[in-house]
């Protein structure tokens, strides 16, 4: 027997990110948000800093 729990977890995360990305203008921005959430890519420190 196989458990599909991991796949269901990824699907839930993808649905949540898609809902949060509702106001994004392009699909490219949504795609990047999905890569960051599901691929666990790092968020650079300088991205969220002001000069």
- Supply the pLDDT for residue 51: 55
Give backbone dihedrals phi and psi of 7, rounded to 5 degrees, phi first: -65, -40
For 1-51, what is each residue's pLDDT tens digit? 777 888 888 889 889 888 888 888 888 888 888 887 877 666 666 655 665
So what's the pLDDT on residue 50?
Answer: 60
Q: Is 26 helix (H, G, I), strand (E, B) or coil?
A: coil
Under a CB-based contact definition with an 8 Å cutoff, are residues 33 and 21 in contact? Answer: yes
Round to whole Å and give the CA distance between 31 and 50. Answer: 25
* pLDDT for the residue 7: 82
């Amino acid at each position: 027997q196989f458990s599909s729990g991991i796949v269901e977890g990824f699907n839930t995360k993808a649905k949540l990110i898609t809902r949060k990305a509702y106001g994004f203008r392009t699909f490219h921005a949504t795609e990047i948000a999905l890569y960051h959430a599901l691929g666990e890519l790092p968020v650079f420190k300088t991205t969220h800093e002001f000069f």
